[in-house]
Chain A
Amino acid sequence: MYAVRLWSVRRAGWLESLYNGFEGILIRLDPLWRRIGYGRLEAPVAAVERGVKGLLFDCRMCGQCVLSSTGMSCPMNCPKSLRNGPCGGVRADGNCEVKPAMKCVWVQAWTGARAMRGGAAIVRVQKPVDHRLEGRSSWLKAARDKAGAPAP
């Protein structure tokens, strides 16, 4: 939801701490996830993730979440799906070139990043989207990658 999405950017610092704690738990529980099987967890966890992040960020389930590097403003809501910063078409009022009623996702991102301890990550160059991961859980991917579990 658009209003919630803007709220989330205003609470970027707080959401950052919340997520970092949550991710820590996910990583520590890696042995449990392995026992259940990451594959079997994929569908239910993705469904929960879609619900929670959909509400907070208008998440599009790209499957390779970069919210921690984009000021808690989801770049997939950019009509050009830019993952690395604003285009040159941002309107004088800071709204989107393509959707004039929407605040530019990247103007929002830079604002959110200033409120985050790890906000400097916004200058990291993001790789192009891997479209194979669309619809999959970024939470499980983070747990698996950071705990060193084998890729699916």
Chain B
Amino acid sequence: MTAERPSDRLVDPGDPLPPLPGHSSRGRLERVLRAGKFAVTAELNPPDSADPREVYDRALVLAEVCDAINATDASGANTHMSSVGICSLLTRAGYAVIMQISCRDRNRIAIQGDVLGAAAMGVANVLCLTGDGVQVGDQPGAKPVFDLDSMSLLETIRIMRDDGRFLSGRRITVPPQVFIGAAVNPFAPPQDDRPAHMGKKVAAGAQFVQTQYCFDVPLLERFMARVRELGLHEKCFVLVGVGPLASARAARWMRAHVPGVHVPDAVVARLEGAADQKLEGKRLCIELIQRIREIDGVAGVHVMAYRQEELVSEIIAASGIMRDRRPRASARRPTKERIA
């Protein structure tokens, strides 16, 4: 135990739980997953604003129904408030966050520094991503960095945490105690090789994965069957990405413009044929969650409701997946009391 220091009164550690053997982090998401509960994570749409209330307004809505909030890192290569900034705001208010880290915008020097900073603020979970190409975003003339790739990023953070060293070998005095995640896309080619690719991510350090949007359950079932054969579901928690489609037009747009999203024609046709397309999109999402939950080896869902956060709580409530327990994303104690 370190001695008391004058700086102690300045420290807001976020909301860490007591350390547990066999756990990498002191966060609530890892607890939920290791306890065998069906976890729910949700993506927060980052504001194009410097107003912290825009982050908190969205977090309040999501935290009612999920176990951790994903702070995206300029997803779709569009500039928004940064994931580090959002995590700083959210951890100060006691929320459980998953900090997304993309390899597109920062090199290994910047990323390793951010991981230390994030852990110091109480970020317990990180998600290692390659990142969408700059050509799809609002700054297509930007220089793509891609110094690391998602795999070497996973390994880098694992080395920092477990060996207490930077990639260079230099020592870290207090390593970042983070639960490490990765993304997988079972729906993009080469589909047959995606499970082995996930195995590689697990070997590199991934303890949980969040998938791209799932609108094709048979394809997911095929992927999961292979994941089970490889025993990956025993080493890594699989959270399947879901989200409501606002309309057939939105579905077509997404298919054409968001890299790696696979929306089967039948799904578009179903929305097209509905009297209320938005309601049908919501129904479809609820159905997907219920079907995904039945697949052996799936540990939870990751809800991405782009510009439709208000729907998330209705969807989770209607799906029944949180019926027997309390969501864990918000602090156990109110912020003011926690900091005092």
Binding site for B on A (CB under 8 A): 79-94, 97-98, 104, 106-107, 110-111, 123, 125-129
Q: Are A125 and B188 in contact, CB atoms less than 8 angstroms apart?
A: no
Contact of B200 among A85, A91, A129 (CB under 8 A): A85
**B152 partner residues in chain A, CB cutoff 8 A:** 83-84, 125-128
Q: Give B83-117 interface residues, CB cut-off 8 Å to A.
A: 103-104, 108
**A98 partner residues in chain B, CB cutoff 8 A:** 133, 135
Q: Are A79 and B133 in contact, CB atoms less than 8 angstroms apart?
A: yes
**B183 partner residues in chain A, CB cutoff 8 A:** 88
**B130 partner residues in chain A, CB cutoff 8 A:** 80, 82, 87-88
**B18 partner residues in chain A, CB cutoff 8 A:** none
- Smallest Cβ-Cβ distance to A103: which chain B residue: B189
The reply on B262 being an interface residue by CB < 8 A is yes
- 18 inter-chain pairs at a CB distance below 8 angstroms, sorted by A residue, are A80-B103, A82-B130, A84-B149, A84-B152, A84-B200, A86-B190, A87-B150, A88-B185, A88-B188, A88-B212, A90-B189, A91-B188, A94-B189, A106-B190, A125-B200, A126-B152, A128-B147, A128-B148
The reply on B30 being an interface residue by CB < 8 A is no
CB distance from B89 to the nearest CB of A (A): 27
Q: Are A84 and B151 in contact, CB atoms less than 8 angstroms apart?
A: yes
Q: Are B151 and A107 in contact, CB atoms less than 8 angstroms apart?
A: no
> In the complex, A16→B144 CA distance in Å?
32
Q: A80-B146, A125-B200 are in contact. Are A90 and B151 (CB under 8 A)?
A: no
0/1 interface trace, chain B 181-214, chain A, CB 8 Å (1 if under): 0011100111001001101100110000000100
> In the complex, A104→B193 CA distance in Å?
13
The reply on B339 being an interface residue by CB < 8 A is no
The reply on B167 being an interface residue by CB < 8 A is yes
> In the complex, A123→B204 CA distance in Å?
10
* Dominant SS among interface residues on chain A: loop
Contact of A88 among B103, B147, B156, B184 (CB under 8 A): B184
Binding site for A on B (CB under 8 A): 103-104, 108, 130-133, 135-136, 144, 146-152, 155-156, 167, 183-185, 188-190, 193, 196-197, 199-200, 203-204, 212, 259-260, 262
> In the complex, A128→B1 CA distance in Å?
36
- Smallest Cβ-Cβ distance to A107: which chain B residue: B190
Q: Are A88 and B259 in contact, CB atoms less than 8 angstroms apart?
A: yes
**B132 partner residues in chain A, CB cutoff 8 A:** 89, 97
Q: Are A88 and B190 in contact, CB atoms less than 8 angstroms apart?
A: no
CB distance from A76 to the nearest CB of B (A): 11
Q: Are A128 and B133 in contact, CB atoms less than 8 angstroms apart?
A: no
CB distance from A2 to the nearest CB of B (A): 19
> In the complex, A14→B108 CA distance in Å?
37
**B212 partner residues in chain A, CB cutoff 8 A:** 88
Q: Are A126 and B151 in contact, CB atoms less than 8 angstroms apart?
A: yes
Q: Are A89 and B200 in contact, CB atoms less than 8 angstroms apart?
A: no
Q: A88-B259, A128-B108 are in contact. Are A83 and B200 (CB under 8 A)?
A: no
Q: Are A81 and B189 in contact, CB atoms less than 8 angstroms apart?
A: no
**A126 partner residues in chain B, CB cutoff 8 A:** 151-152
> In the complex, A127→B127 CA distance in Å?
19
Q: Are A104 and B148 in contact, CB atoms less than 8 angstroms apart?
A: no
> In the complex, A82→B184 CA distance in Å?
15
Q: Are B147 and A84 in contact, CB atoms less than 8 angstroms apart?
A: no
- Smallest Cβ-Cβ distance to A127: which chain B residue: B152
Listed from nearest, the 6 A-B pairs whose CB atoms lie closest are: A89-B259, A84-B151, A88-B185, A98-B133, A88-B260, A94-B189
- Smallest Cβ-Cβ distance to B194: which chain A residue: A86
> In the complex, A83→B286 CA distance in Å?
37
Contact of A92 among B133, B135, B149, B262 (CB under 8 A): B262
Q: Are A123 and B189 in contact, CB atoms less than 8 angstroms apart?
A: no
Q: Are A110 and B193 in contact, CB atoms less than 8 angstroms apart?
A: yes
> In the complex, A126→B156 CA distance in Å?
12
**B262 partner residues in chain A, CB cutoff 8 A:** 92
Contact of A125 among B135, B151, B167 (CB under 8 A): B151
> In the complex, A89→B150 CA distance in Å?
13
CB distance from B244 to the nearest CB of A (A): 20
> In the complex, A98→B260 CA distance in Å?
11
- Best-buried of A89, A91, A107 by chain B (most CB within 10 Å): A89
